């Protein structure tokens, strides 16, 4: 399958399936099964199972593509097409039952992005975009804001959560923007931040 419209449709369906699994597990989540990869760096059986399901589904959709994934599946050497996935972006939010947390899938062709899907599970918001086809939210076209100045906008940011060597610089930048925007937000899911931009 190489048609981007068909790929987009198939990946959106797969992300819905994986999102339903994440939502179900969130209602029955066992915090004792959280693994600590490092300081403030969590992974759960939900991340791992969601990744396995995504990889299996994407292999059926586009068998010739390689993978770069959050939890360690990396098989892309010499591949013209590569899936880049984070099965549960916002794991810390998820483990605290605090949205947003999202399924994130992108497709690279010859190292250029051609397809992206972000499914924010908590709000049931499915963002998708394909090269030359525009972006959709829950199947409806979206567009960039009409705001043209920084003063009219909100700023989304992330903070380091495992390495705090640069925290003073991050705080200084945030402080500088607080007075020049309508606010600074930190959602805890980079994929969701990027989907909300515009």
Separation CA 146–CA 68 (nearest Å) = 35
pLDDT in tens, 22-31: 999 888 877 6
Higher pLDDT, 81 or 147: 81
pLDDT for the residue 156: 85
Report the residue count for the chain.
198
Separation CA 180–CA 192 (nearest Å) = 23
Angle, alpha carbons 56-60-61 (nearest 5°): 115
The pLDDT mean for the chain works out to 88
Asked whether 91 and 47 are in contact (CB, 8 A), the reply is yes
Separation CA 152–CA 101 (nearest Å) = 26
DSSP one-letter code for 5: H
The residue behind tokens 């600590």 is 36
Angle, alpha carbons 189-89-151 (nearest 5°): 20
pLDDT in tens, 97-124: 999 999 999 999 999 999 999 999 999 9
Domains of the chain: 4-141 (3.30.540.10), 150-196 (3.40.190.80)
Average pLDDT over residues 73-87: 82
Separation CA 104–CA 127 (nearest Å) = 10
The residue behind tokens 């991050």 is 170
Angle, alpha carbons 142-157-159 (nearest 5°): 150
Sign of the CA dihedral running 198, 196, 192, 64: negative
Q: pTM score, two decimals? A: 0.88
Asked whether 128 and 8 are in contact (CB, 8 A), the reply is yes
3-class secondary-structure state, position 145:
coil
């Amino acid at each position: 399958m190489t048609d981007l419209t068909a790929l987009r449709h198939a990946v959106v369906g797969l992300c819905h399936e994986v999102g339903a699994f994440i939502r179900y597990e969130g209602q029955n989540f066992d915090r004792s099964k959280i693994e600590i990869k490092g300081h403030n760096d969590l992974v759960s059986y939900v991340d791992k199972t969601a990744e396995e399901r995504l990889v299996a589904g994407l292999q059926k959709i586009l068998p010739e593509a390689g993978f770069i994934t959050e939890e360690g599946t990396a098989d892309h050497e010499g591949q013209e097409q590569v899936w880049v996935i984070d099965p549960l972006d916002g794991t810390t939010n998820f483990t605290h039952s605090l949205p947003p947390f999202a399924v994130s899938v992108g497709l690279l062709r010859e190292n250029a992005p051609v397809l992206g899907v972000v499914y924010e599970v908590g709000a049931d918001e499915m963002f998708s975009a394909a090269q030359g086809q525009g972006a959709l939210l829950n199947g409806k076209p979206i567009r960039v804001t009409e705001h043209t100045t920084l003063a009219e906008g909100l700023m989304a940011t992330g903070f380091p959560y495992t390495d705090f060597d640069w925290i003073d610089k991050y705080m200084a930048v945030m402080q500088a923007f607080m007075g020049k925007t309508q606010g600074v937000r930190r959602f805890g899911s980079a994929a969701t931040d990027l989907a909300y931009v515009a």
